[in-house]
Amino acid sequence: MRRAVIFDLDGTLIDSAPDIHAAANMVLQGEGLPRISPDQARGFVGRGARVFVERMEHAVMGGNEPARTAHLHARFLYFYERAHEHTKIYPHVPEMLAELRAKGLALGLCTNKPMRPTLAVLAHLGWDGVFDVVIGGDSLDVAKPDPAPLLAVVTGLGLTLPDIVYIGDSETDAETAERAGARFGLYTQGYRKTPVEQMYHHFRFDDYRQMSGQLFQPS
């Protein structure tokens, strides 16, 4: 039986918040606007670049104006695609991915990060070709927590929901999995703000060396 593990990216496999913070402040500095803090940037992550920018704009301006939001979004995407200097892979992730491959599992990626920044950071990390199917935040007309992106990865892998496990770190990922009816593993060291006990999940872990043994075990 062919099976797969599908991952979120930011906050799950990589800690990209420092670079997202830097990109945001490059935009704000260029516009003569107040900067945001690292904690603010981390808190704004999860619903895609557009929502990040809306949250950033609201924090510094006290509201959103459509034309200004569109301008800030375009500027943010420019810097976001090039922001890799401070991004770190979480401990033991490379070994974990290699182990899954060695076991014959397919790998998918389902992220709300737009595709161009996604592909850019994968190339920067040397992860070209690691994932069999990649769906970004702008690949479809909807993004997570709508289940459609996750289901698109499942379909692209030629599998069905009972054949996959989805791994993520956030409330958005948990809601996506719940709405899809997918088995969900929660990485607890990412960007979530809600207590673990209040989040949908079938298993949880704080170290990737703990993950593989739980993937397809009964909950």
Distance of alpha carbon 83 from alpha carbon 106, whole angstroms: 28
Per DSSP, the three-state class of 6 is strand
Going from the C-alpha of 121 to that of each of 33, 118, 146, 182, the distances in angstroms are 27, 5, 24, 27
Count the neighbouring beta carbons within 10 Å of the beta carbon of residue 197. Answer: 7
Strand order in the sheet with 4-7: 133-135, 106-110, 4-7, 164-168, 183-187, 203-205
* Active-site residue, selected from the candidate residues 8, 10, 19, 138: 8
146 assigned to active site: no
Nearby residues of 125 by Cβ (< 8 Å), 6 or more positions away? 14, 87, 89
Per DSSP, the three-state class of 189 is coil
Give the residue among 75, 67, 80 at the shortest CA–CA distance from 31. Answer: 75
Give the residue among 108, 163, 169 at the shortest CA–CA distance from 136. Answer: 108
Which residues are part of the catalytic machinery? 8
